[in-house]
Amino acid sequence: MIICICHRISDRDITRAVREGCASFDELQDETRVATACGACHDCAHQSFHAQARAGAGGCPRSPHAGAQALQLAGA
Ligand code: FES
């Protein structure tokens, strides 16, 4: 599903960015440019980012710290 029409960023792109180590929404924006043009997608992109972080998409799946990083990303 496309989240950001301006930059053609999908929910899968956000998931991939989180898996590759984006640790904050600001980092996600730096990496993908999501929500940096008209801003209409900001809330949806923000929710998608935090949902992915809560789901444990953050960090290397083989890292012993992956779960802790996901909790940190989710603000727990
Ligand atoms: S739809 Fe994402 S910045 Fe415009």
User: What is the pLDDT, as a whole number, of residue 66?
Assistant: 45
Per CATH, the homologous superfamily of domain 2-74 is: BFD-like [2Fe-2S]-binding domain (1.10.10.1100)
For the stretch 17-75, pLDDT in tens is 999 999 999 999 999 999 999 999 999 999 999 999 888 764 434 333 444 444 455 55
Ligand 1 centroid, distance to 64 Cα (angstroms) = 35
Q: 60 CB under 6 A from ligand 1?
A: no
pTM over 0.85: no
Between 38 and 76, residue with greater pLDDT: 38
Ligand 1 centroid, distance to 8 Cα (angstroms) = 8
Domain range annotation of the chain = 2-74
Residue that has been written with the tokens 């209409």 in this structure? 40
